[in-house]
Structures are given as structure tokens and as C-alpha cells.
Amino acid sequence: MTGTGAEKNQSGPSKAQNTNSWPMFRGSPGLLGVSATRLPDSLTLLWNFKTDGPVKSSAAIESGRVFIGSDDGKVYAIDLETGQKLWAFKTGGPVESSPLVLNGKVFVGSTDANLYALDAASGKQVWKYETGEKILGAPNWVRSPTNNSTWILLGSYDFKLHCVDSETGKAAWTYETGNYINGSPAVSEGKTMFGGCDALLHVVSLANGEKLKEIEAGAYIAGSGAAADGRVYIGQYENEFLCIDIPEAKIVWRYKDRAFPYFSSPALAADRVVFGGRDKRLHCVKKADGQMIWTFTAGGKVDSSPVICGDKVVVGSDDGRLYVVSLNNGKELWKYEIGQALAGSPAVAGGRIVIGSDDGKVYAFGAKSPRK
């Protein structure tokens, strides 16, 4: 299958990417972790919104609204300007999955084993699709091979990757693996790539869900990979971060620093890759060969996935702080102490950062508004 629609152009950040939009986990179907927006040098807390449980979900930002899940079992829509609740939808379990906003709908998984399609304006359920086990990873999307419909992709703890028609909620195909799928599938060049707790990187045809390749990762993969230019960048549980060549089905390079796993999903710049580690550090390595460029030390593990915004990198840590560091040299530029762990990943759009915390709140940061 030749790529059609969005997946065809996911070799890098789209030049047409809307600076006011962050519609899904990692920003784009390639899971590149790159935002088109620029952040002000000085950030301030604009608002916080309280839910009734820890917020491990990462936000989506679309049309002036923030969409995010909470361990209280709800999916929330929040006004980006004011932080006021617009609606809440109750599922049957904690929502760690990150929402995908597409064509007026919000798609999100729940630990109740269902993928929900909600009306973005009202929060009303359009349909739900049942898998066999909990869903923790975020959904992705792709145009169908005939280009006449949009498909939603998501992994489940039922060992399967599910491909579901976005309009009907009916399965287009399913692909079975040997263990849990915890992360999100990346989409690039007519294929989807994802890791699992079976210690394999799976490469699957988007056209029909058939296996194209399986690549041994050496340990189970809990996070998500970023896919660009025929390569996938992904961390695994036995302390290695990998660059995998998809056409060749081989590991191009391995980065191994200290004996700590990598759960964080990477962000891809033109010449470098940035990812967090459970060694309490943010790592930046050369895209070409995996050689270290810099590391930044936080006060707790970094399961949060970094976002690159121009010459800055935004990331949370289990030390309860949100950090902005220099992409060039890893020097700290700004930080904010929230106090409890930030396991979710930042969403960055419209000059703002939105992130949830284990304290049950969603926080928005941006430039201080001038007095009227």
C-alpha cells in the first residue's frame, strides 16, 4: 500500500501544522513529539482544573479546548482560555489513555476495555468499541486504503492492535501479538509500528492488518516509538534506547547509559532525539548514531515524554516539577514546582503548555496576560 492521507507525510513535522493545535498524543501520527508553537521565555500559571483522581492522561488541544482523561474515570473538555469545565463524560474505569481529536469527535480508551467516540462539542457518546482488556495507550489514526474513511488504531491489554472505523465503531481488522500492548502505535509510510510486552517491535500493514516484520527488541517495550524516514526510535525495559531500521528490520544503534528502564516516548528534532529515563534524566542523543549530546538531571524519574518547541524542550518529572530546557545544550531555562508526580506528557499549542499531575489537577502555563 502506498501511503494515503496523513500517514504518507509523517516523515517529519508538517509545515502546515497548526500552532494552536495539539490534537493527539505526541502531536502527530508519527508520534514525533514536536510542536509548531513557540513558547515565551517567561511562563506563568494561567489556571488549574481539579479532577477527582490522578491525571496520567496527556492532553489534546483543539479549537480552543483541552481534552484529557483522569483516574476518576472521566474524560473532560476544558476551555483553554479560562480553565472552566465544558463537559465531562464518565467511563467505567480510570482513563490513562490520551484523547485523539479528529473530525469533530474525541476518541479515547479506558481501563474499562472500551474505546469511546464522543462528540467533541457536547461530550455525548457517539459509539463505543469493546476490546478484551484495559486500554492504557492513546489512539492514532489513518485514512483507509480507499481513502473514503478514517480508521482509529489502538492497542489493548488483550494482546491485540485494533483498527476501528471512526464513523461506525466497527472493526476494520485486528492484529494479535504475544503480550500486552501498553503504548501507542506510530504511523508512517503505510505502516504502523509499535512495541509490546512480548519484547518485539511489530510492523503491520495499515491496509489489511497483516504482519510485515517483527524485530527483537531485547526486552519488553512499555512506551511508544517515534517513526520517521524509515526508522523507529523507541526505549525498552532493560535499559536500552533503540534506533530500528524498518526496511532492513535491524537495530541501527543502541544507547545504554545506566541500568534504568525507558518508559518515556522520544521527541525527534532534525539531528537529535530527546527522551526521558527512570534514571531521573532527560537524554539527548544524535539521531544518526545514538551518541550522547547532553543529559539533564531532574529530581525524579522521567516517564513523561518530552515535547520539542523550537529551541526548547518541555518535560515533566516524578519530582513534581515541569521543566523547560534548551534543546541545544540541555541547560534549564525554567521550571515550576507542582509538588506531585507528572507522569503524563505535556501538550503544547498556542504558546501554552497543558499537563496533568498525580495531584488530580490539570495545569496550563503561558505568557502572562496583559491587564486590560
CATH number, domain containing residue 65: 2.130.10.10
Indicate whether 5 belongs to any domain: no
Tell me, what's the pLDDT at 147? Answer: 82
Q: Are 102 and 25 in contact (CB under 8 A)?
A: no
Domain count, the chain: 1
Indicate whether 177 belongs to any domain: yes
Tell me, what's the pLDDT at 239? Answer: 86
Residue 183 sits in which domain range?
21-366
Q: What letter does residue 22 receive in the DSSP assignment?
A: B
Q: What are the backbone angles phi and psi of residue 5, rounded to the nearest 5°?
A: 70, -145
Tell me, what's the pLDDT at 370? Answer: 57
Indicate whether 13 belongs to any domain: no
Q: Are 60 and 97 in contact (CB under 8 A)?
A: no
**How is residue 206 written as a grid cell?**
495499515
Indicate whether 4 belongs to any domain: no
Tell me, what's the pLDDT at 148? Answer: 87
Task: Report, as ranges of residue numbers, the positions in the chain whose pLDDT lies below 50.
Answer: 1-16, 371-372
How many residues belong to the chain? Answer: 372
Cα–Cα distance for residue pair 306/263, rounded to 1 Å: 12
Indicate whether 284 belongs to any domain: yes
Indicate whether 10 belongs to any domain: no
Tell me, what's the pLDDT at 17? Answer: 60
Indicate whether 288 belongs to any domain: yes
Q: Are 362 and 66 in contact (CB under 8 A)?
A: yes
The H or E element that residue 336 is part of is strand 332-337
Handedness of CA 185, 199, 202, 161 (dihedral sign): negative
The helix/strand/coil state of 6 is: helix
Indicate whether 344 belongs to any domain: yes
Q: Are 166 and 5 in contact (CB under 8 A)?
A: no
Tell me, what's the pLDDT at 103? Answer: 95
